[in-house]
Homo-oligomer: A and B are copies of this chain.
Amino acid sequence: MAVEARFLGPSRPQTLATILAVSGGEGTGDPQRLFKGVASLSSATLGDVSFCESRSYAKALAESRAGLILVTADLASHVPSSALVVVCASASLAFGQVAALFHPPRRPAGTIHPSAVIHPDALIGEGTEIGPMAVIEAGAQIGRDCMIGPFALVGAEVVVGDGCTLHNHCSVHHAVLGKGVVLHAGARIGQEGFGFAMDAQGRFVTAPQLGSVILGDGVEVGANSCVDRGSLGDTVLGPGTRLDNLVQVGHNVRTGRGCVLVAQVGISGSTNLGDYVSLGGQAGVSGHLHIGSKARIAAQAGVIKNVPPGFEMMGSPATPKLDAMRATLALQRLGAASRRPSKPDAD
């Protein structure tokens, strides 16, 4: 299916020369040849740029009618002769860079919608666009060239760096955001964490949550995800860290740079992640743990112990990946061996 022109508007044609320059790829052809758009392998036509980053799409690659295909070197020989081959270090990276030429992201318009409620003490940087029904509270400081979407809430004294995008319905309190931070729709930043103690009468007493949230440059938080503020001290997401949708980050969690938390991950309070830690979808990490840099936690894993740097963990409770795979295999054998039980299994 071709790119949905209804939402994107017309694409901006690009020359081969520009495509090669931006992608850093290598290919041969008329530098002035124009391409009109980008498309997937199966929907592209001769005027389109496409890409293939995995052998598992080799069939679609071989059958593609795209005019130019970005690939890594190992896939170059599979590109059909109708297409110009451009070899890149990373086809998906190159495609992203090239696609942004055809469909540059919308720039902030520098306008403030009359329905927005902006406290007179708030500071709004030059070029920043504020959408309908946004609320900016007292003392908030928003940098230059930001986009603040409809129904976004920037709480009192919050600091938003230059070039941030706060999508619709998100809310930010008690937080300092670096440059280029993106909060997707409905993200919740800086609310009270889950902290309380039981008194002598068996009632829960809320502990004041006195800390804040610090989001490093380029942090992205997915739709409807939650990052609680610190109880004492701060909750910190390091530069470039990306959270998918519906992720939960508890109070006082700290991550290094470039961590990746896939959808529905949960990190309990006071846990520390190093740099470039990745967590698969629905994985959970208990509180007060240390997860070493470049550790990789599989989807649905449940981490209840510290994880050394670089370890791959799997299962609930999580163990090193190879152990988890062996245990799973052993269990499946054991189950198979019990196929003729003395009493029949229910179904």
Contacts and interface: CB of A to CB of B under 8 A. Distances in A.
B56 A194 contact: no
A306 interface: no
Contact of A194 (B7, B207, B263): B263
A332 interface: yes
Given A96-B208, A204-B242, 15 more contacts: A4-B211, A7-B174, A7-B212, A90-B197, A93-B197, A93-B198, A95-B207, A97-B205, A153-B168, A224-B226, A245-B248, A284-B299, A316-B316, A326-B336, A329-B338
24 contacts: A7-B156, A7-B174, A43-B232, A56-B288, A93-B198, A96-B197, A99-B210, A132-B135, A135-B150, A151-B153, A185-B191, A186-B186, A191-B223, A226-B263, A245-B248, A250-B263, A262-B268, A263-B268, A282-B282, A284-B299, A300-B302, A322-B347, A324-B335, A326-B336
Contacts of A39: 232
A197 B92 contact: yes
Contacts of A238: none
A227 to B, nearest CB: 9
A97 to B, nearest CB: 7
A70 B92 CA distance: 54
Given A40-B232, A93-B205, A96-B207, A194 B325 contact: no
**Chain A contact residues: helix, strand, loop or mixed:** loop
B208 A105 contact: yes
A129 interface: no
A340 to B, nearest CB: 10
A100 interface: yes
A38 B1 contact: no
A199 to B, nearest CB: 6
Interface string A317-329: 1010111111111
Contacts of A266: 246, 263-264, 281-282
Contacts of A281: 248, 266, 268, 284
Contacts of A290: none
Interface string A190-220: 0110111111101111111011100000101
Interface residues of A, number: 122
Copies of this protein in the assembly total 3
B92 A207 contact: yes
Contacts of A169: 151, 153, 169, 171, 186
A194 to B, nearest CB: 4
Contacts of A156: 7
Contact of A234 (B4, B96, B100, B326): B4
A223 B262 CA distance: 19
A58 to B, nearest CB: 14
**Which of A89, A135, A242, A286 has most B Cβ within 10 Å?**
A135
A65 interface: no
Contact of A3 (B167, B210, B222, B245): B210
Contact of A264 (B89, B264, B325): B264
A133 interface: yes
- Closest A-B pairs by Cβ, 3 of them: A327-B335, A96-B207, A93-B197
